[in-house]
Structure 1
Amino acid sequence: MTAAKDTGVGVRGVVTASIAAALGLALLLGLGTWQLQRKAWKETLIATVTARITQPPQPLLPRAQWPTASESEREYAHVRFTGTFLPGEAFVYTAGSSLRPDVTDQGYWVFAPARLADGGVLLVNRGFVPTPRKDSAARAQVTPGGPVDIVGYMRWPEAHGLFAPTDDVKANLFFTRDLNAMSAAHGWKLDAPFYIDQEAPPPPGGLPKPGKIEVNLPNNHWQYALTWYGLALALIGVYTVWLTGRLRRRTER
C-alpha cells in the first residue's frame, strides 16, 4: 500500500515538474523568437530612417496636406521651407541625444512657432542650448524677425511618459516634446501635427544649436535572443538531468 502511494506521489511530481518545465521552455523560446522579430523590425527602422535623413531636402508638404501627414511615411523626412518665427519659446529638457551625437550635456531644446507664406503655423525645434545659456541674454541671440530658409526633419510629438517629470508650465519647462502642452501654455495655434527638427541654418550667435540627425539606434536584439535561447537549452539540460535521476532511483527500488 505504501509503495503504491509513493509511486502515485512520484508520478504526480514528475507530471507537475514536466508541465512546469514545458511552460518555462515555451516562454523562453517565445521570448527568443520575439527578440528575433524585434531585430528584424529594428533593422528595417534603421534602414528607413537612414534613407530618409540622407536624401536631399525636399519641399515641405503643402499646408492642406499637414493634417493627414502619416508618421510612418514621413517621420524623419528631410525637408526645406521658408518661415518667419513668431514670438515665444518653449524649453524641453534633455540630458543628451542618441540622434544628435554633438549634444552630450544637460540643456534644453528650444521650440518656437514659425509661420509660412501660406499662413500655416508649425513648431520648430531650433536646436540645443546648454543649461547655463538658457536665457536669451546669456546666448546673445533673439528669435529672427524675418523670413528664414529652414532645412530640417519632420518629427512627431512624444507622449508624456509614465516616469517623466511633470511639466513646469510657469517656468516654461517641459520634459517631453508634447506639442499640445507647449501650444496650450503659450496660446499658439498650430496647424501641423508634426514639428521640424532644424538642421540649418545656425543663428549668428550659434545658439540654439541646430544640427544633423544621425542614426544611432541600439540594436542588441540578437544578443537578447541568444540569451533567451541559451536559458531554454539550460532548462532542457536541468530537466533532463533531474528526470534521469528520478527514473534511475525508481528502478533501483
Structure 2
Amino acid sequence: MRYKFLFSIFVFFFISVFIALGSWQIIRLNWKLELINQIKTSLKDDPVSLKSSNEKNYLRIKTNGSIDFEKQIYLYNLNEKGKPGFEVINPLKIGNKNYLLNRGWIPFNKKGNDIINIVDENNIIGILKIQIKANRFKPKNDLSNNYWFTLNREDTFKFTGKKFSPYVIYLSGNNELPKPKLITANISNNHKKYAMTWFSLAISIFLLYLYFRKKNY
C-alpha cells in the first residue's frame, strides 16, 4: 500500500508540474499576441519626431542628424533571399545623443564604394529597435578590417570612441543600395505548441496512471 501511495504522489507531482508549465505557456502566448498587435499598430502609425517622443521598440520616427561615414560599420548578414553580404551601419549624432543607424544591406563587392553613401541626413525616416545582446557563439569582430559579426557594445566603443543609445535606427525607404531592412511583426510565437505539448504530457501520464491503477487494484 505504501508503495502505491508514493507512486500516486510521484505521478500527480509530475502532472501538476506539466500543467503549470502549460499554463505558463498560455500566459506567454497571450503576452506575445498582445506584443505582436502593438508592433503591428506601431508600424502602421505615421512617423513621429524622435526629438519630441519617448523612445520605444518599433516606434516609427523621423529626424535629422550628422552621419559619420568615417566610422562606418560593415556587419556580416544575409539579405532577404539568403545572399551573404553586409549591413551598413553608421554612427548618427542627433543633438547630444549618439545612435547607430542601420542603412541596409549591400553585397560584399560594394564595401567602401562611395555609391552606398548617398543619404539625406536632413530627412531620416526609420524604425527604432532595441539592440539585442551579442551572440556569444558568433566569431569575434575583426575591427582592423572592419568586418563585424555582432554589434558588440564594447567593440563599437573601441571602433568609434562613442557610446550609443540602446535603440538602433533602421532606415526606411526604397533605396537600392544599401537595401533597407524590412522590419515586420513576424516574431517567433511557438507558445501555443509548447502549451499543447505540456498539457498532452499531463493527460498522457494521467491516462497511463488510471490504466495501471485499474490493472493492479
TM-score by structure 2 length?
Answer: 0.86
Distance 1:88 1:153, change over 3 A: same
Which ranges in structure 1 are unaligned for 5 or more consecutive residues? 1-10, 97-101, 248-253
Alpha-carbon distance between aligned partners in 2 of 1:177 and 1:52, rounded to the nearest angstrom: 25
Q: Tell whether 2:91 aligns with 1:121.
A: no
Per-residue CA deviations over 1:111-144 (Å, capped at 9, x if unaligned) read 101233x3543220011123x335223xx52534
**1:46 pairs with 26, 33, 36, which one?**
36
Alpha-carbon distance between aligned partners in 1 of 2:151 and 2:40, rounded to the nearest angstrom: 22
Per-residue CA deviations over 1:26-55 (Å, capped at 9, x if unaligned) read 121111111101110110110111111110
**1:199 pairs with 172, 177, 186, which one?**
172
| Structure 2 residue identity aligned to 1:89 | Q
Alpha-carbon distance between aligned partners in 2 of 1:220 and 1:193, rounded to the nearest angstrom: 27
1:135 maps to which residue? 111
**Helix, strand or coil at the partner of 1:173:** coil
Q: Tell whether 2:193 aligns with 1:220.
A: no
The alignment covers a number of residue pairs equal to 216
| Cα shift at 1:79 | 0.3
| Cα shift at 1:196 | 0.4
Distance 1:107 1:26, change over 3 A: farther
Distance 1:133 1:16, change over 3 A: farther
Alpha-carbon distance between aligned partners in 2 of 1:93 and 1:42, rounded to the nearest angstrom: 29
Per-residue CA deviations over 1:58-94 (Å, capped at 9, x if unaligned) read 11125xx8xxx55xxx111000112232122112232
TM-score by structure 1 length?
Answer: 0.75
Aligned pairs for 1:154-233 within 5 A: 154-187=128-161, 189-190=162-163, 192-200=165-173, 202=175, 206-233=176-203
**1:105 pairs with 83, 86, 103, which one?**
83
1:235 maps to which residue? 205
Per-residue CA deviations over 1:183-225 (Å, capped at 9, x if unaligned) read 32232x24533220111362xxx22111442221132322221
Larger Rg belongs to:
1
Aligned pairs for 1:57-136 within 5 A: 57-62=47-52, 74-86=56-68, 87-95=70-78, 102=80, 104-116=82-94, 118=95, 120-130=97-107, 132-136=108-112
| Cα shift at 1:241 | 0.9
Alpha-carbon distance between aligned partners in 1 of 2:43 and 2:97, rounded to the nearest angstrom: 24
Which ranges in structure 2 are unaligned for 5 or more consecutive residues? none
| Cα shift at 1:180 | 4.2
**2:4 pairs with 14, 18, 30, which one?**
14
Distance 1:43 1:157, change over 3 A: same
Instruction: Please say which of residues 141-150 and 208-217 is displaced more in the overlay.
Output: 141-150
Identical counterparts, % of pairs? 25
**Helix, strand or coil at the partner of 2:115:** coil
**Helix, strand or coil at the partner of 1:239:** helix
| Structure 2 residue identity aligned to 1:75 | N
